[in-house]
């Protein structure tokens, strides 16, 4: 949560906010590895898409087949 304080030198006056907030070590312990794993997953996914495109190329439609015309009966 983000607070905008009128008097930033006295945060205790606004609902008991701490003077010097810190992030617990337990949060840092699980957040850092998950950030790295998430970044590796994104990079791996993008690399997979790029390699698939290089190997199989774009999806082409056959040009020699004309689309069938439908007759309208009145």
pLDDT in tens, the chain (74 residues): 676 788 778 888 888 888 888 999 999 999 999 999 999 999 999 999 999 999 998 887 777 766 666 777 76
DSSP strands (E only) in 21-63: none
Report pLDDT for 68. Answer: 63
What lies within 8 Å, CB to CB, of 31 at 6+ separation is none
Report pLDDT for 74. Answer: 62
Q: Using CA atoms in the order 17, 18, 19, 20, what is the torsion angle rounded to 10 degrees?
A: -130
Report pLDDT for 20. Answer: 86
């Amino acid at each position: 949560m983000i607070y905008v304080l009128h008097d930033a030198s006295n945060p205790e006056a606004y609902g008991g906010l701490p003077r010097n907030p810190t992030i617990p070590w337990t949060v840092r312990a699980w957040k850092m590895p998950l950030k790295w794993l998430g970044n590796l997953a994104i990079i791996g996914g993008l690399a997979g898409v790029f390699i698939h495109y290089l190997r199989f190329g774009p999806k082409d439609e056959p040009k020699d087949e004309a689309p069938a015309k439908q007759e309208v009966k009145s």
